[in-house]
Amino acid sequence: MLFRTLRPGLRPWTIAHLLARPSLAVGAITTTACVGILGIQEPMQGVDASTSGASTTDGSTAGVSATDGSTTDASTTDVVQSSIDGTPIGQDSDMDSATAGPGPSCQAGGAGVASCGSAGDSCCTSLEVPGGSYVRTYTSAVDGGATGLADPATVSGFRLDKYDVTVGRFRQYVNYLTVGGGSPPANGAGKHAYLNGGQGLANSASTGDFETGWDATDWDSNIPTGASAASTWNTNLACNTSFATWTPTVAGNESEPINCVTWFEAYAFCIWDSGFLPSEAEWEFAAAGGSAQLKYPWGATPPGTDSTYAIYDCDYPADAGSCTGFVNIAPVGTPELGAGTWGQLDLAGNVFQWTLDWYAATYADPSTDGAYLVATTTRTLRGGNFSEGMSVLVPGYRYDFDPSDRYYGHGARCARAP
């Protein structure tokens, strides 16, 4: 078992707590988590994730909207993955690949809703990811090539939002629940209903079973509702007074990614916003560029410290070098050079993003439109965050956490039907 190394900055007592955390993994290689404990007040800059066997010395590692995805005011671009021989994978090249402003979270307009990134496009922009096959565990070489290929997976085409969920968008959901008379998702909502004859993703841990969607009986209690719940949301989303991006009233943080959300809140939000959480396989497919098996979502170029490729290692604002508060978390879409193959931003760094799967140390192989849906103790997150080192930026990096717990390094990104 490999332990993540601690740089100066964590209090000595923190380490004892960290040893009890769930495992992190890159591909099928697991390490003991040294970050993410609910209640730790230090920024995670004190942790630099490094592994061996699945990692090179520079940190590379192994590894909508309406149901039909249409809107009346959508802007479109053509983004199509090509296989090694140049043939488009999974979708026709003339398909619209971007849908702007489809979800209810962007209907009100305003900061962190109507305009995100330098392009100023809708914060709900959702981009087509063509289906295809790839491997989930691999080692990227300096030249961008991949070796040690293992754990094959195939995913059908889907949409993945261009941006992480912003404070502004999440505020619309809290308003819906507290002053709009809203309620948690309907039982069974949030499935990939366009797959397997409406049954959704296959349960890769149990042959013949499929995703169940939202469990109203067991999960509704995790979503506070009613006017009196406003104070509960304000308390819960302020899981760390220095690093939480949420504010009780609209302030200057609306374009920053929402953090301090639990898995239940992330899933419920995406369902309300006409989407769902991506599976681990879907998320990594988008980050790896599918069969391109990229070293980073943008390619092989090192991310540097100027925050143009990724927000990580406490280097935002550019070359900051230490984390002091939410000012070290960037507005979504800030590192423009870090765009993935299909245009998604912040697939590496800023905040981890919850995925649908329960965490299992090894993958169920092979996987076709599957997710690990047999309960363990933790759910998976992907993408790295603002305070951790370069090794968390690679597509194959895995992280897990109790779905009921919240942490300021955790956020969300929604997926949608193609």
Residue 371 has pLDDT above 50, yes or no: yes
Q: What is the DSSP string of 31-52?
A: EE--S--TT--S-GGGEE---S
The pLDDT score that the predictor gives to residue 46 is: 33
pTM comes to: 0.79
Architecture of domain 2-416: Alpha-Beta Complex (3.90)
For 5-33, write each residue's pLDDT tens digit.
333 333 222 333 333 333 344 443 333 33
For 34-77, write each residue's pLDDT tens digit.
333 223 233 333 333 333 333 333 333 333 333 333 333 333 33
CA gap 112, 221 in Å, rounded: 28
The pLDDT score that the predictor gives to residue 25 is: 43
CA gap 305, 299 in Å, rounded: 16
Q: Tokens 């649908």, residue?
A: 356
Q: How many CB atoms lie within 10 A of CB 115?
A: 17
Is residue 144 very low, low, confident or very high in pLDDT (cuts 50, 70, 90)?
Answer: low
Between helix 167-178 and helix 263-272 the angle, nearest 10°, is 80
Q: Any idea what the Cα angle at residue 357 is, between residues 356 and 360, rounded to 5°? A: 165
Closest CA relative to residue 125, chosen from 333, 372, 350, 293: 333
Is residue 320 very low, low, confident or very high in pLDDT (cuts 50, 70, 90)?
Answer: confident
Average pLDDT over residues 91-105: 51
